[in-house]
Chain A
Amino acid sequence: MPTYILGISALYHDSAAVLLRDGEVVAAVQEERFSRLKHDPALPVRAARWCLARAGITIADVAWLVFYEKPLRKFDRILSTSVATFPKSWAAFPRHMRAWLGDKLWLRGNLCEAFGVRPDRVLFCEHHLSHAASAFFPSPHRDAAILCVDGVGEWATTSLWRGRDTAIEPVAEVRFPHSLGLYYSAITAHLGFAVNEGEFKVMGMAAYGQPRFRAEMDRLLKLDDGGFSLDLDYFAWHWHPSQAASPKLEQLLGPPRYPGTPFTPRATPEGAGEAEIAASQRYADLAATAQQQIEEAMLHLARHAKAKVGTEALCVAGGVALNSVANHRVAAEGPFANLWIQPAAGDAGGALGAALWAWHSVLGNPRGPALERADLGRDTPLDRTRELLDDLGARYEDVGDDAPERAGDDLAAGKVIGWMDGRCEWGPRALGHRSILADPRRPETRDAVNVRVKYREPFRPFAPSVVAEHADEYFDIPAASREPARFMLSTGPVRESARATLGATTHVDGTARVQVVDAGTSPRYHRVISRFGAETGVPVVLNTSFNLKGEPVVSSPVDAMASFVRSGLDLLYIDNFRVERPR
């Protein structure tokens, strides 16, 4: 009987379940893909149920359930911080205590009840150790520095580790309230976006601005001695129940951007008045400054990691590791020859890390092969999908194994298609299993996808997917970025010669968040792009996640059909079925 371990991350944001069979990932999926609530933080009961079903087992077969945090340490941090910020924390204290005394403090019992496990089968891994394990154990490296940078877990907000084979040793940590993740989130909120959601928008906005607020913002975040610290007077996350910034931040940076205000910087004024243009440009410049600070901070931390640990490889995890522009700079300018980042680098990935930590570090089992693919989530048998399409009266054709070539033809004919193939991706990025695909060449495609399908802010770029064989012709990918580019985790320059060609996927600053697609690990997606390349001479497609505004990425055929019908997509592929729009 193999050993099954169920990893769980939950109760902050992006909860997830991961099932290991003798250390190998059988299934890994976020709860939001079942509940349809974006960033769902609830205990991932449905995700876990699906993982067990995929493995053909029941919870009774699971040896260990591993939670990705040590709840009492987190409680300790919250209590200590409330006391240390007395009396400013008067409003936050009752709120935190009610949440904890009412629910979170009884986590072991809640886990047992929700998942049906025995109390002595439940293990707890530290938050940052879960991140570290999620970055190191799935990597191909046997000796590596590990850098975790996020908002906050228990106490650590940034941590440095050394991973050697099955052991992960702590080296140093930066503690709450000093946090790069929370800093970026505070700026995200100042720029009028939702925290934990709008960080990608800030990154997109930054490309329209110049970092001309360094004098002001360097007062907020200081790099020192290999680490960093914040001037806490400007922030409120350590004492306010809901706000990240203190009134002082507004005095320093000016009024915050009102959510939903049109963004009309100088590069794309869209007929706005001078006052609006100036205001938008200011926000773009603030975004650019914060982004530059985060990039430099990550480089600074990476250099420190090199000095302290000295390995060839660096593994990175935590929410900040999803900042693909910073990742590129660490790869291109940093001291490490290899960079490895796991596709679910944020808190969802903690479920994977916690489970792998139990398998290797607690139970002492040897390492296995590296994780090379992200399609670890939900899939649907073909006959179930056929039944659904019949029931809904959909106009469809079973094209069998020709689906990738047919899709490539459709793309070459200028169609915007929904491409749902096999298992759902693990992590926030769509990597050719739940993607919207289009011709990357014309800027009009970008507008078409935005206006007809995604309804998202025009300043957010769309990503290109390129077949590995031709990646270097179009993109300047540093050697250390090869692995992150597999999971679309690094944003780098598009070659000068290719910028005009790839009009719809090249950002205003000449960069792109490219996904390099390998025939071995993504065979069907590779075929789609190859076919498009054969017809057009450009083996690159525009790839954006298959979801509508405010919704998680689609996972089931029902989700796909509902999004298809509600959007302006021309065609939908679900595995071998090519679905046309209803008449």
Chain B
Amino acid sequence: MGVLRRMWLTVASEVSWRLPGRPQRLLAAFALAERGSMLDMLAAVEATDRRELRKKYFLHALDEGRHALVFAERVRALGQLGRAEAAIEDSGKLVEAGIVGGRTLFERLGEPEFLTFVYVAEADAVEQFRVYLDRGLPDTRTQDELRGILKEETFHVSYSRAEVDRYRKEGLPVDWWATRLRLRRLWEGWLRFSRDFGAVMSAFWLGVLYLLVMAPFRLLARLEPGGWQTPAGRPGGDPLVAARMEG
């Protein structure tokens, strides 16, 4: 995994950081991801039964919140105020990007697997940030910030690794979980791709439907006029029957 992944990261970062407009986008995506991890960690503070871990989760959450602000600040400094603001303020973006939504990570995975997830994600992030720093990307200011962030990410890796090691000693299948999580990430990437592809295809067919089937009705349809209108009559009879209706 390691060598291949590093090669991939190197190639991908060279390409993506150097395209115009891309750095801002990537940094905004980082800000969103950091914000998402803050929420995940705070949910863990809320839900954990292991009281000795609460403070670690809490401090971890605060770090991620700060990282989100740092990345957003870089986006702002690189001239995209609107994007920077959205990365911090628009929670719809978090859902769109698939970072949060539905049940929390902690609820879905349970504590041991959640910690394994944290370990895997943090270790990968550290690796990714190191590659950027090694390649001198994307600019010196951002690199300074990355260096600061990297120090804190190292704490996230070390405490979660200690917990994962502990679970391993207890006989929990943490390595299988880690592999499964990485595989799932690939699978989710594929799903996202096929979803986007499906969206394009269905948009195409819906477009055809729109042109062929809807067009003739254009003559019949008109927009509602402004001003007060008389409301449509309500059905009589048993109010419960009407209340059950969706239309």
| B140 located at the interface, meaning its Cβ lies under 8 Å from any Cβ of chain A in the complex | no
> Is B42 within 8 A of A36, CB to CB?
yes
> Is A229 within 8 A of B227, CB to CB?
yes
| Neighbouring B residues of A155 by C-beta, 8 Å | 224
| Neighbouring A residues of B243 by C-beta, 8 Å | 66, 123-125, 358, 362
Bound complex: CA A413 to CA B168 (Å): 53
Interface string of B205-243 (1 = CB under 8 A from A): 011011100110110111111111111001000011001
| B91 located at the interface, meaning its Cβ lies under 8 Å from any Cβ of chain A in the complex | yes
> Is B246 within 8 A of A70, CB to CB?
yes
Q: Which one of B65, B90, B207, B214 lies within 8 Å of A86 (CB-CB)? A: B214
Of the candidates A85, A89, A172, A391, the one having the most CB atoms from chain B within 10 angstroms of its own CB is A391
Interface string of A405-439 (1 = CB under 8 A from B): 00000000000000000000000000000000000
> Is B58 within 8 A of A392, CB to CB?
yes
Number of interface residues, chain A, beta carbon within 8 A: 86
> Is A230 within 8 A of B226, CB to CB?
yes
> Is A550 within 8 A of B89, CB to CB?
yes
| A94 located at the interface, meaning its Cβ lies under 8 Å from any Cβ of chain B in the complex | yes
Interface string of B57-74 (1 = CB under 8 A from A): 010011001100000000
Contacts known (A178-B224, A392-B55); A194 close to B89, Cβ less than 8 A: yes
Interface residues of A in 224-242 (CB under 8 A from B): 224-230, 232, 238
Contacts known (A90-B207, A170-B234, A260-B76); A81 close to B54, Cβ less than 8 A: no
> Is A85 within 8 A of B214, CB to CB?
no
For the residues of A in contact with B, the DSSP-based class is mixed
| Neighbouring B residues of A94 by C-beta, 8 Å | 202-203, 206-207, 210
| A272 located at the interface, meaning its Cβ lies under 8 Å from any Cβ of chain B in the complex | no
Interface string of A247-269 (1 = CB under 8 A from B): 00000000000111100000000
Contacts known (A37-B95, A173-B228, A562-B42); A84 close to B222, Cβ less than 8 A: yes
> Is A224 within 8 A of B214, CB to CB?
no
Interface size range of chain B in the complex: 35 or more
Interface residues of A in 323-361 (CB under 8 A from B): 358, 361
> Is B207 within 8 A of A559, CB to CB?
no
| Neighbouring B residues of A125 by C-beta, 8 Å | 243
Interface residues of B in 135-186 (CB under 8 A from A): none
What is the minimal beta-carbon distance from A280 to any residue of chain B, in angstroms? Answer: 15
> Is B239 within 8 A of A172, CB to CB?
no
Interface string of A158-180 (1 = CB under 8 A from B): 01100000000011111111100
Interface string of A551-571 (1 = CB under 8 A from B): 000001011011001100000
Bound complex: CA A159 to CA B228 (Å): 8
Choose the segment among A72-80, A446-454, A481-489 that binds chain B (4+ C-beta atoms closer than 8 Å). Answer: A72-80
| B20 located at the interface, meaning its Cβ lies under 8 Å from any Cβ of chain A in the complex | no
| B247 located at the interface, meaning its Cβ lies under 8 Å from any Cβ of chain A in the complex | yes
In this complex, what residue of B is CB-closest to A361? B239
What is the minimal beta-carbon distance from B122 to any residue of chain A, in angstroms? Answer: 19
Contacts known (A81-B223, A362-B239, A558-B45); A86 close to B100, Cβ less than 8 A: no
Interface residues of A in 251-294 (CB under 8 A from B): 258-261
| Neighbouring A residues of B90 by C-beta, 8 Å | 194, 550
| Neighbouring A residues of B215 by C-beta, 8 Å | 86-87
| A112 located at the interface, meaning its Cβ lies under 8 Å from any Cβ of chain B in the complex | no
| Neighbouring A residues of B88 by C-beta, 8 Å | 549-550
Bound complex: CA A192 to CA B101 (Å): 27
Bound complex: CA A133 to CA B224 (Å): 25
> Is B58 within 8 A of A562, CB to CB?
yes
Q: Which one of A37, A87, A177 lies within 8 Å of B223 (CB-CB)? A: A177
| Neighbouring B residues of A38 by C-beta, 8 Å | 89, 91
> Is B202 within 8 A of A37, CB to CB?
no
What is the minimal beta-carbon distance from B70 to any residue of chain A, in angstroms? Answer: 13
> Is B62 within 8 A of A83, CB to CB?
no
Contacts known (A84-B222, A227-B226); A558 close to B42, Cβ less than 8 A: yes
> Is B81 within 8 A of A259, CB to CB?
yes
| B82 located at the interface, meaning its Cβ lies under 8 Å from any Cβ of chain A in the complex | yes
Contacts known (A35-B100, A260-B81, A556-B46); A174 close to B244, Cβ less than 8 A: no
In this complex, what residue of A is CB-closest to B222? A84
Of the candidates B45, B81, B86, B245, the one having the most CB atoms from chain A within 10 angstroms of its own CB is B45
| A520 located at the interface, meaning its Cβ lies under 8 Å from any Cβ of chain B in the complex | no
In this complex, what residue of B is CB-closest to A364? B239
Bound complex: CA A387 to CA B222 (Å): 62
What is the minimal beta-carbon distance from A403 to any residue of chain B, in angstroms? Answer: 23
> Is B42 within 8 A of A124, CB to CB?
no
What is the minimal beta-carbon distance from B118 to any residue of chain A, in angstroms? Answer: 17
Bound complex: CA A227 to CA B225 (Å): 11
| B120 located at the interface, meaning its Cβ lies under 8 Å from any Cβ of chain A in the complex | no
> Is B244 within 8 A of A120, CB to CB?
yes
| Neighbouring B residues of A83 by C-beta, 8 Å | 214, 217-218, 220-221
| A127 located at the interface, meaning its Cβ lies under 8 Å from any Cβ of chain B in the complex | no
Q: Which one of B202, B222, B228, B240 lies within 8 Å of A227 (CB-CB)? A: B228
> Is B246 within 8 A of A225, CB to CB?
no
What is the minimal beta-carbon distance from A549 to any residue of chain B, in angstroms? Answer: 6
> Is A562 within 8 A of B65, CB to CB?
yes
| A197 located at the interface, meaning its Cβ lies under 8 Å from any Cβ of chain B in the complex | yes
Contacts known (A72-B246, A98-B203); A174 close to B227, Cβ less than 8 A: yes
What is the minimal beta-carbon distance from B104 to any residue of chain A, in angstroms? Answer: 8
Bound complex: CA A99 to CA B127 (Å): 38
Bound complex: CA A80 to CA B210 (Å): 12
What is the minimal beta-carbon distance from A46 to any residue of chain B, in angstroms? Answer: 9
> Is A229 within 8 A of B207, CB to CB?
no
Bound complex: CA A93 to CA B222 (Å): 16
In this complex, what residue of B is CB-closest to A198? B89
> Is A228 within 8 A of B226, CB to CB?
yes
| Neighbouring A residues of B54 by C-beta, 8 Å | 388, 391-392
> Is B202 within 8 A of A108, CB to CB?
no
| B2 located at the interface, meaning its Cβ lies under 8 Å from any Cβ of chain A in the complex | no
> Is B206 within 8 A of A97, CB to CB?
yes
Of the candidates A39, A83, A258, A561, the one having the most CB atoms from chain B within 10 angstroms of its own CB is A83
Bound complex: CA A80 to CA B203 (Å): 19
Bound complex: CA A304 to CA B45 (Å): 53
| A122 located at the interface, meaning its Cβ lies under 8 Å from any Cβ of chain B in the complex | yes
> Is A238 within 8 A of B223, CB to CB?
yes
| Neighbouring B residues of A35 by C-beta, 8 Å | 100
| B27 located at the interface, meaning its Cβ lies under 8 Å from any Cβ of chain A in the complex | no
Binding site for A on B (CB under 8 A): 39, 42, 45-46, 51, 54-55, 58, 61-62, 65-66, 76, 81-82, 84-86, 88-92, 94-95, 100-102, 199, 202-203, 206-207, 209-211, 214-215, 217-218, 220-231, 234, 239-240, 243-247
Q: List 24 A-B contacts (CB under 8 A).
A: A32-B91, A36-B39, A38-B89, A38-B91, A39-B91, A72-B245, A80-B221, A87-B215, A94-B202, A94-B206, A97-B209, A122-B244, A123-B244, A170-B234, A173-B231, A194-B86, A197-B89, A258-B81, A364-B239, A391-B54, A550-B88, A550-B90, A558-B42, A562-B61
* Inter-chain pairs besides A178-B225, A562-B58, 13 sampled, C-beta below 8 Å: A37-B39, A42-B101, A83-B214, A86-B221, A94-B203, A176-B224, A225-B227, A227-B226, A387-B51, A392-B55, A550-B91, A556-B46, A566-B65
